[in-house]
């Protein structure tokens, strides 16, 4: 019996930190991936125990080595791996790790907790609404929110891309500061949700993703997840504990780059 079950080539590459699944498909389409010395095709299924997979001539290890970190994203930084307008991205704040991608989005004007991982399955499970990993925010508004507006936020409103609602919403100190829990992560969804009830979000901070808390992590800095945190995040996303996964011990991804 094979020690590793057969899997689609793009998933194999994503789980080993080479690229996201979409990025892996592009590598395959560009002719940069070989299986046992032969050019691969989209949709190829490989047996990691038997097949030799290489990208640009470099053999990809059989054992998956995953890296997952959390970053306290400052405002003014875009959540993308690269930006055509040369804006500062979240990747400028961390030490480079091959295959590391942001999980979901956090718009440029917003701050707070962002998860980045080389594990394509984890990224998909945490970001897809059907897995139920919630995101919690603190929104500072242009004025106090009324009880009726709070009720409307949780009852739901119609946005241009469909209905939206907060799972929970409550005042967090002053009437103008609201804690909201969301199940989805559509583009600028929290801001648009408040705008639909006549309120402007002046500041938005994501303070939690599932069981992960922002805590005291300084703005602009990152750290690796502790094993217990990673296990709880996987459990929240309905994922099994990883098996036969090598442990990365280098501290490189935990050290944030200094702002330029």
Q: What domains does the chain contain, in order, with CATH numbers? A: 7-59 (3.10.290.10), 68-130+211-254 (3.30.70.580), 134-209 (3.30.2350.10)
Return the percent helix, strand and coil in the chain, to nearest 5.
Answer: 25, 30, 50
Q: What is the pLDDT of residues 62-113, one digit of tens each?
A: 876 688 999 999 999 999 988 899 999 999 999 877 778 899 889 999 999 9
pLDDT band, very low/low/confident/very high, at 258 (cuts 50, 70, 90)? very low
Question: To which residue do tokens 């691969």 refer?
Answer: 40
Cβ–Cβ < 8 Å for 9, 53: yes
Q: What is the pLDDT of residues 174-218, one digit of tens each?
A: 899 999 999 988 899 999 999 999 999 999 999 999 999 999 999
**Distance separating alpha carbons of residues 154 and 135, to the nearest angstrom:** 15
Residue 243 has pLDDT above 70, yes or no: no
**Distance separating alpha carbons of residues 68 and 118, to the nearest angstrom:** 7
Angle 51-102-110 (CA atoms, 0-180°, nearest 5)? 175
Name the 3-class secondary structure at 41: coil
Residues acting as catalytic residues: 107
Selected residue with higher pLDDT from 180 and 61: 180
Neighbours of 38 (CB within 10 A): 9
Element (H or E) spanning 236, and its range? helix 227-236
Enter the pTM of the model: 0.73
Q: What is the pLDDT of residues 118-162, one digit of tens each?
A: 888 899 899 988 999 999 999 999 999 999 999 999 999 999 999
């Amino acid at each position: 019996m094979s020690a590793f079950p057969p899997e689609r080539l793009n998933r194999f590459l994503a789980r080993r930190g080479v690229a996201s699944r979409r990025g892996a498909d592009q590598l395959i389409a560009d002719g940069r991936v070989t299986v046992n010395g032969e050019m691969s095709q989209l949709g190829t299924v490989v047996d990691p125990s038997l097949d030799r997979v290489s990208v640009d001539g470099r053999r990809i290890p059989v054992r998956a080595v995953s890296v997952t970190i959390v970053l306290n994203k400052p405002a003014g930084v875009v959540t993308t791996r690269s930006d055509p307008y040369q804006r500062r991205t979240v990747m400028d704040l961390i030490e480079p790790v091959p295959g590391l991608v942001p999980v979901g989005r956090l718009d440029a004007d917003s701050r707070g907790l962002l998860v980045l991982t080389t594990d394509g399955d984890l990224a998909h499970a945490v970001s897809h609404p059907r897995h139920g990993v919630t995101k919690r925010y603190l929104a500072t508004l242009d004025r106090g929110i009324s009880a009726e507006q709070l009720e409307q936020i949780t009852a739901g409103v119609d946005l241009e891309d469909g209905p939206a609602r907060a799972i929970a919403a409550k005042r967090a100190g002053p009437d103008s500061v609201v804690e909201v829990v969301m199940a989805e992560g559509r583009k600028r969804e929290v801001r648009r949700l408040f705008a639909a009830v006549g309120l402007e979000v002046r500041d938005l901070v994501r303070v939690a993703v599932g069981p992960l808390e922002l805590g005291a992590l300084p703005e602009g800095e990152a750290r690796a997840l502790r094993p217990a945190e990673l296990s709880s995040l996987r459990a929240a996303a309905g994922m099994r504990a990883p098996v036969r996964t090598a442990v990365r011990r280098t501290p490189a991804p935990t050290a944030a780059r200094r702002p330029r």
